[in-house]
Amino acid sequence: MAIILQLLFTGLGIGAVYALVALGFVLIYRATNVVNFAQGQFAMLGGYCMVITTVDLGLPYWLGILITLVVMAGFGAIFNLGVYYPLRHRSFLPVVISTIGASILITNLVLGLYGPEPTTLPGVIDFPGVSLGAVFLDSQYLVIIAVTLILVLLQYFFFEHTLVGKKMQAVSQDKEVASLLGINVTGMIMLTFAYSAVLGGIAGVLVAPILFVSVGLGAQIALKAFAASIIGGFGDVPGAIAGGLIIGVAETLGAFYISVPYKDAFAFILLFAFLLIRPQGIFGEKVSQKA
């Protein structure tokens, strides 16, 4: 029993990181109808921001987080202006390719500026974790799960109970009607990119003490997060959360009970199964066409 609980805890922890990055995928998809393949690089940038502010500059952790969030919001806005906005009237494919190009550019810029060496980032809490019987709860995983829960609640409140959140939802549902209602569509999309970059940055900050900070950090998470968003139902916010947690738990349990070397395969077997049996994902609605 202790083993299952330990695996569940770790799976939920790593799954929460996938969920945060998947949320970024989903929000941008809803607002723009394109997939942002640089979402993983947002996580990597968040990790580097924290290293620069707290390790290199020696600033307090809370200040490092604050600066990282501001920098990531600004970066999201710039990303929107440079990568999405010029191509907003083009079809799906050019924009997607543009985001892939941007992800390569970001990775190589960081590589050029900061070098290839992986580096360490201390955790938010300065103790390794707590033991509950035979189950060890890593403090960083506890923080990850808690932050994800808080963010989901905040996001729900923001989208359902604030005017800006409702405007963003309106834009994601129908840009033309939103525009006719006087909503600044361009501004709302800008805000969505900024928020998605912040989410990615938070994921990077949270996972960096466990996986270390390197240019490969984003790619390591992004592919699973993308699978999570499809499993949950692409474009669905609760689905992204559920998809992330399901993949995290499935790969951890699968690795222990079936095969460690095929750990990464379990996420994609799940993805394949969903695409085959329920392509709309867990929470997605089936789209049917009239004859």
Partner 1 sequence: MTTPESAMSRTLHAQPQSGMVSAAAAMFWPRARCWRAALGHGAAALLACALLAGPERAVTADTAPIIIGMVTPLTGPAAESGRYAEWGAEMAVSEVNAAGGVMGRMLKLVIEDDQTTNPGVVSAFNRLANDPAIVAFLGSIRSTQVHAMDPDVRRVGKPVFFGGTDPNLTHAGDPWLFRCRPNDTYSAKVIAAFGVETLGLKKWALVTSTDAFGSSGARLLSAELQSLGASVVTAQGYANQTPDFTPVVLAVKGSGADVIGSYFTFEQDLAIFARQLRQLGVRSAWVGSPSITDTAALHLAGPALFGTYGVADFNADSSPEARRFADAYQKLHKIPVDQFAAWTYDAINLAALAIGNAKSTDPQGMRAAILAIRGYKGTEGVYDFDANGDGLHGYNVVQNKNGKIEFVKRVDFPAP
Which residues contribute to the site for partner 1 (CB under 8 A)?
3, 6-7, 10, 14, 104, 107-108, 111-112, 115-118, 120, 128-129, 131, 136, 138, 207, 210-212, 214-216, 220-221, 252, 255-256, 260-264
Q: How far is the CB of 121 from partner 1 (least distance, A)?
A: 11
- What's the rounded Cα separation, in Å, for the pair 162 and 113? 39
**Looking at beta carbons only, is 138 or 169 nearer to partner 1?**
138
Task: Please state whether beta strands 129-132 and 135-138 pair in parallel, antiparallel, or not at all (unpaired).
Answer: antiparallel
Helices (H) and strands (E) in the chain, counts: 11, 2
Q: How far is the CB of 52 from partner 1 (least distance, A)?
A: 18
**Looking at beta carbons only, is 188 or 207 nearer to partner 1?**
207
Q: How far is the CB of 256 from partner 1 (least distance, A)?
A: 4
**Looking at beta carbons only, is 167 or 224 nearer to partner 1?**
224
- What's the rounded Cα separation, in Å, for the pair 51 and 45? 10
Q: How far is the CB of 139 from partner 1 (least distance, A)?
A: 10
**Looking at beta carbons only, is 126 or 176 nearer to partner 1?**
126
Whole-Å CA distances, 185 to 31, 142, 190, 192, 213: 9, 37, 9, 10, 35
Strand partners, 92: none
Q: Are 2 and 133 in contact (CB under 8 A)?
A: yes
Q: How far is the CB of 204 from partner 1 (least distance, A)?
A: 13
Q: How far is the CB of 197 from partner 1 (least distance, A)?
A: 21
| Among the listed residues 205, 187, 291, 168, the one whose alpha carbon sits nearest the alpha carbon of residue 17 | 205
**Looking at beta carbons only, is 207 or 240 nearer to partner 1?**
207
* Residues, the chain: 291
**Looking at beta carbons only, is 6 or 155 nearer to partner 1?**
6
